[in-house]
Structure 1
């Protein structure tokens, strides 16, 4: 971003609380303005796209997608938009680094930005505790091997995974074309009788418009990637927003539970 463009962005950025999101490529980024409008809490959710390299749910491609250099490239633009905290809005390109590696990724992002930082993977780990779940089911768009890395990440966070379903989708671009029926079917297929919550971990999946329907269909908390990412950003700003239409995670009961330590 040029100096002149940065100055214009700073001038145009509205005052008040703002969580900035680094979002990989283009797929379901429109969930964020939708969630911002649903929050009605005076909090802005500016988003900057990162260069993903190869669009592939494959471990080597995901490690490059989440590399420090690719994330750092979007930080100044987010700060120019007034971000007071930053979240790497990607699950797969954070959990593939493992529990310790994902911590290192977030620490480096925070150091580069000079702001509190987190990622979607840690958002899931904290959100699971917030809704009171000990046992979860994973309904993933990813191939099975990539979904297995998410399961390992959650186990490291102290969560029992009772079922895991991968869908074998390679690209975020394809996931971004999924509509209501595909999202509901994914959740139903991934549910398990012993699961206290069902997780849909891909930020490329449009879910903001379906949160209430997902929980009504399954009769339990459903945590989706863009939903938990926004919740995590609000947590970084110490902002609790009660919006039951955004799912159990945005209720007073969830807000009263202590999240896992960083």
Structure 2
């Protein structure tokens, strides 16, 4: 008698409102569909500045959000902001993860860590990066990746200050930006920023760029599944999901 595996139950802490609809979309793109519980966290200012992002990713903000997930039955939890984790450095990320795991009693990670692990999963050591961030914030992402021996061959900064503005970028704009920053010497293209929509266009992005493309919401979802032990090969989710190490 065949038994269908129970769906993954995933928790996401998402700052504000921008591209959070990527998560229910991805939940229904995989087989079996996942169950998600997404909580919007609070912050003082919607701005891609080190100061604003540090406040957004502070342990008190994460603890407030995690409290809303208590008792929800989730099997893993993600802090889904790339920049509001890597700007705090590895020690800050460790504190974020510890806060979530101690509050909820389930494995936790952040989007920044998911990028490092997803890049390694593809056996990529040289990448190109297309960021929506201002230059100083983008540079901190480059510095973060160096801790994992990931070499950045090219990096572009679009210089958008608010997540709300990033969330309004459409398919054509995102694909054009990706193609413009694809480099032959790179083994993958990374597009950090969970405020950027990408889930519906993952295959289109990779066809246009001719290489694996990792986006923030995609790697967050991948990491959440991996941490609860329910990551399986999937179609329509990009090369990251095609073969599971």
TM-score under structure 1 length normalisation: 0.89
Q: Is the counterpart of residue 164 in structure 1 residue 123 in structure 2?
A: no
Instruction: Note the 1:195-234 alignment, pairs <5 A.
Output: 195-234=186-225
Instruction: Note the 1:89-238 alignment, pairs <5 A.
Output: 89-238=80-229
Q: Distance in 2 between matches of 1:40 and 1:31?
A: 16
Residue of structure 2 in register with 1:12 after alignment: none
Contact 1:39/1:241 (8 A) holds in 2: no
Residue of structure 2 in register with 1:56 after alignment: 47
CA change 1:242–1:64 in 2 (3 A) is same
- Give the Å deviation of 1:16: 4.9
Q: Distance in 1 between matches of 2:71 and 2:174?
A: 35
Q: Distance in 2 between matches of 1:207 and 1:16?
A: 23
Q: Distance in 2 between matches of 1:129 and 1:227?
A: 15
Contact 1:127/1:249 (8 A) holds in 2: yes
- Cα offsets for 1:214-241 (capped at 9, x unmatched): 0001110000000000000001101122
- Give the Å deviation of 1:76: 2.7
- Give the Å deviation of 1:192: 1.5
Residue of structure 2 in register with 1:9 after alignment: none
TM-score under structure 2 length normalisation: 0.95
Give the SS at the match of 1:48: strand
Q: Distance in 1 between matches of 2:221 and 2:166?
A: 20
- Cα offsets for 1:40-93 (capped at 9, x unmatched): 324212111000220000000000000011111121322333212110001000
Give the SS at the match of 1:19: strand
Structure 1, 61-70 or 111-120: larger mean CA deviation:
111-120
Contact 2:67/2:103 (8 A) holds in 1: no
- Give the Å deviation of 1:103: 2.0
Contact 2:85/2:110 (8 A) holds in 1: yes
Q: Distance in 2 between matches of 1:80 and 1:157?
A: 35
Q: How many residues align structurally? A: 240
Runs (4 or more) in structure 1 with deviation over 6 Å come to none
* RMSD after superposition: 1.2
Higher helix share: 1
Structure 1: unaligned runs, 5 residues or longer: 1-14, 257-262
Residue of structure 1 in register with 2:19 after alignment: 28
Structure 2: unaligned runs, 5 residues or longer: 1-5
Q: Distance in 1 between matches of 2:237 and 2:8?
A: 20
